[in-house]
Amino acid sequence: MPVPSPFDVRLAIVDAEHWNATGAECARVGHLHDAEQRLRKAVQLAPQGSHVAHQARFNLGLVLLLTGDYEAGLALFEHRHHVGQDERPALPPDFAPWNGAPLAGRSLLVIREQGHGDEIQMVRYLPLLAAQGATRITYVCGDALYPLLRCLDGDGDGVRILPRSSTTSIEPHDFWIMAMSLPWATATRPDNIPASLPYLQVAATRVADWAQTLAAGPGLRIGLCWKGSAVHGNDRERPQPAGGAARVNASDCHRC
């Protein structure tokens, strides 16, 4: 088989980038069938190992997850590490990546990634991992969520929660995994998503403080999440419109 010339490789990349871009746009507006077909074409055309090859596979994974194909979608979602979403830290070589191997008698380090919402969703897997007989499950969380997530620490099942700022060094673990890879490693499907509710508890002191704060004003209490992280790549699509927020009387609001 002849080796493709640099021009042929570049032409293939340009073609793949076209199909990837149009597929991603179809997905953005909800045309998932068209998106899937275009992204599969991008995967077919993209030179192996190129950035667009990873990007097309990642985008295709997101589309397949939206259509309910968790098996293929979660596997392709692992390409996020090659498209600017690599939050994997440098770990000692004796920390092996976990891919779903039996955890009985072993220890596992789970590391947070992406946003607060993703982190809150993924910690539901910690009791499931502990139930496999692991000796220790250590979860390194974002500092901002530690006051909430520490309710999972110390309940006798071997789960330990550590804020990221306190983890300048980690004792040896048999395995490690990024939090957003847990659904893939545990073969999550739509019918077996961990759904033991509630899996988080707010500290009683925080509940009492907010009850006192909210009791000071009259009327209906509504919690409004009006903005996400400014560093999110798609943040411009996520905030509430200014006009809608303006209809809320600022004098009746408690910001948190």
Is pTM beyond 0.85? Reply is: no
Counting every residue written for the chain, the total comes to: 256
**Residues near 40 by beta carbon (within 8 Å), at least 6 away in sequence:** 60
In the block, which residue shows the tokens 């999110």? Answer: 232
Q: pLDDT tens for residues 118-172?
A: 999 999 999 999 999 999 999 999 999 999 999 998 756 789 999 988 877 788 8
Mean pLDDT (the chain) is 86
CA distance 52 to 63: 16
8 A C-beta contact, residue 194 and residue 123:
no
Q: pLDDT tens for residues 71-110?
A: 999 999 999 999 987 777 767 667 899 999 999 999 999 9
**Residues near 151 by beta carbon (within 8 Å), at least 6 away in sequence:** 200, 201, 202, 203
Mean pLDDT, rounded, for 189-208: 91
CATH architecture of the domain 6-82 equals Alpha Horseshoe (1.25)
Closest alpha carbon to 126 in 69, 80, 185, 68: 185
Domain residue limits, the chain: 6-82, 96-185, 204-252
Domain 96-185 grouped into CATH 3.40.50.150 = yes
